[in-house]
Structure 1
C-alpha cells in the first residue's frame, strides 16, 4: 500500500485537477470522513469502449509533475506583483511647456501670461526628475501660433519616441465668468469662483489605459499634498467646456479632442496645475512653495509609474 501511495504521488497531475492541490495544502474538509465512507464501492463498472475512444481522441492536457507533497517553494519572481517596470535612466519623459511666447495662453488676474507660469513649473519638474535619475527627461518648447505649434509638439514627441508625455498648463475660466478689476494701474479680469488643479486624458490616445493610469497617479499625489481638484468641469454651467469626470477622487477628466493627447503615440496626460485667473490661487501658483509641492507630486507619480513598489514602500 505504501508503494502504491508513493506511485500516486509521482504521477502527473492534470491542470483540470489543480483545485485538488489546494485541498491537500489547506487540509480538505473531507478528511474527517470515516474509513467506511472513504472505501470505494465494491462493484465498479469499466468504461465503455466508446468512452475510451473519445478519451483517447481528446487532446492531451498540460501536466505538472510533483516530486513530493512537501511545502511549495515559489521563486522570488513569482511572489512579486505583476506590473510594468522601467529603468529610470532610460525612460524618455517629455515635458511639454504649454503655449508659446507668441501665443501665450491665458492671462492671469495680474496680467501675467500662462506661458510664463508653464515654463517656470516645467523647468522645476525637469530638474527634480533628473535629480531622481530620470536623466532622459526633456523640455519641449515650441514657437509660433497656437494650432501650428500643437502639431509641432506632436511631431517632436513622436520622432523622439518618448515613453511619457506630460503637457504643463495653468487654468482659466470661460469668458462669461470673468469680472473686471484694476491691478497696478491697469485694467484686468479675474474670477475667484473656481480653483484647483485638473488632469486630462484622451480616449483617442493609442495607449489610453496607460495614459489614464499615469494621470491618476498625478492626481493621487496632488491630493496627497492637500490640493483640491477643479470640480467645475463636470458641471453643466461649463457648457461646451464640460468634460466627463473619470475619477472623482483624483480629478482626472476625459478630453478626447486635445491634439497633444490624441495624436501622440505614447501615454500622454495634460496637467492644469491650478487657476491663475483666481486672484488668491494665482499668488499661490507664483510662490516657490506651491511649485515645489506640484513638481514633487509629479516626480512621485513618475516614480510610482516606473516602479509601482515605490508607491507602497517608498524609495528603496
Structure 2
C-alpha cells in the first residue's frame, strides 16, 4: 500500500503543474475567470450594473496588463456574456495546465442597511471552512450556481484523495498569491481593506494550480458600486492585480532558483 501511494504521488508531481514550474524559462500561463455570465448576472448595483458585466470588463483589462507587462499567456474561461457552469470553469483551467488561476467577482450585501454601509476589497484562497461569517456568505453566494451533489462532479473517494495530493503545494502558494495581489490592490486603490480570507469556493476547489478569488469591491454599495463601473477605476484594479501577480512570480522564482553549492574551506595543514 505504501509503495502504491508513493507511486501515485510521483505520477501526480509529473502530471500536475506545481508552483516550481514558474521558475522555468517560459512565459507564465494564467487563466483568468470572469465571474458569472449569461443568465447568471451575479450581484447588482443600486443603478442596475451587473456583476457579470463588471467582472468581464476587469478581466479583459487584467489580461491586457498581464500580456503587456509579463508577456504572459492568458486564457479566459469566458470572453463574452455567456453562461458557463462552475465545473466547466475548473475543467477548462486544468486542461490549460496553468501556472495561476484568477477568478474575478464583485461582492454584495443582502439588506438595505448593510448595502449602504459595507464596502471594500477581499481576496480569497481555498479552505474547507470559512474564515468568518463574511467569508462564508461570500462563498455561499458565489457557490449558488454550483451543483448541489458531489456526484455532479463525478468524484470518487480515490479521485478526491488524488486531487488533494496534487493541490497541496498549489494551495500553499495560493495563500502567497492572495497576499501579494491583495496588498497591491489596497495600495493602488485606497479601498477599504477587508483582508485576505479563506472560504470553500467551488471554483477554486479542484484547480491544480495556485488559485485565488478576488472580490474587487461591493457592487451593492452606493459609492463603490459606481466606481466599479468606471473605466479609470477598473484600470487601477487591473494594474494592481497584474503587479501582484508579478510580485508573486518573482518571489517563487527566487525561491525555486538553483542554489549554488557550498564551497568547502581548504584543509588546515
Q: Please, what TM-score do these two structures have when normalized by structure 1?
A: 0.57
Residue 230 of structure 2 corresponds to residue 287 of structure 1: yes
Question: C-alpha deviations, 1:220-270, integer Å up to 9, x for none?
Answer: 111222533454xxxxxxxxxxxxxxxxxxx10010x21111111111000
Q: Mark the CA change 1:88 to 1:227 in structure 2 (over 3 Å): closer, same or farther.
A: farther
Question: Which has a greater percent of helix?
Answer: 2
Mapped to 2, the partners of 1:278 and 1:307 lie a distance apart of 35
Show the counterpart of 2:122. Answer: 198
Q: CA deviation at 1:291?
A: 1.2
Question: C-alpha deviations, 1:147-172, integer Å up to 9, x for none?
Answer: xx100000101111111000000110
Mapped to 2, the partners of 1:226 and 1:98 lie a distance apart of 21
Show the counterpart of 1:298. Answer: 241
Mapped to 2, the partners of 1:108 and 1:281 lie a distance apart of 9
Mapped to 1, the partners of 2:31 and 2:233 lie a distance apart of 22
Mapped to 2, the partners of 1:211 and 1:310 lie a distance apart of 15
Mapped to 2, the partners of 1:208 and 1:273 lie a distance apart of 21
Q: Within 5 A, what are the aligned runs for 1:1-316?
A: 86=23, 89-141=26-78, 143-144=82-83, 149-173=85-109, 175=110, 177-178=111-112, 191-203=115-127, 206=167, 207-229=170-192, 231=194, 251-255=195-199, 257-308=200-251
Larger Rg: 1
Q: CA RMSD in A?
A: 2.5
State the secondary structure of the residue aligned to 1:225. Answer: helix
- Structure 1 ranges of 4+ moved more than 3 A: 83-89, 142-145, 228-231
Mapped to 1, the partners of 2:188 and 2:86 lie a distance apart of 31
- Gaps (5+ residues) in structure 2? 1-19, 129-163, 255-269
CA contact (8 A) 1:87 1:306 kept: no
Show the counterpart of 2:142. Answer: none
- Gaps (5+ residues) in structure 1? 1-82, 180-189, 232-250, 312-316
More relative contact order, 1 or 2 (CA 8 Å, 6+ apart): 2
Mapped to 2, the partners of 1:195 and 1:285 lie a distance apart of 11
CA contact (8 A) 2:125 2:213 kept: yes
